[in-house]
């Protein structure tokens, strides 16, 4: 899910497409991971707060109660590097 889609071979693309089509949760996670990886690849740290809001909203819709810990940890790591 975190690899650059352009670097996947045909089998990997098909497997990923099957997973994404089978689950709305997987699709949402895929989009979030890809957005995050784009931020990292292109050094767009200014987008982090918006991404965290999207990820938090997605986690809440799945009743994932401990997202705040992930959010805080992500921010700390970004600012420490």
Instruction: Give pLDDT, residue 25.
Output: 87
Q: Say how far residue 43 (Cα) sits from the centre of its chain.
A: 15
Per-domain boundaries in the chain: 5-80
What tens-digit pLDDT sequence spans the chain (81 residues)? 889 999 999 999 999 999 999 998 899 889 999 999 999 999 998 999 999 889 888 888 776 665 555 555 555 555 444
Cα–Cα distance for residue pair 38/19, rounded to 1 Å: 21
3-class DSSP state of 7: helix
Give Dmax over CA atoms of the chain in angstroms.
Answer: 38
């Amino acid at each position: 899910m975190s690899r650059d889609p352009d670097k996947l071979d045909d089998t990997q693309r098909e497997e990923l497409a099957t997973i994404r089509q089978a689950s709305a949760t997987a699709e949402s996670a895929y989009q979030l991971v890809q957005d995050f990886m784009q931020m990292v690849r292109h050094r767009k740290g200014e987008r982090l707060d918006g991404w965290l809001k999207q990820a938090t909203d997605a986690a809440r819709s799945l009743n994932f109660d401990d997202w705040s810990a992930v959010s805080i940890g992500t921010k700390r790591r970004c600012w420490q590097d």
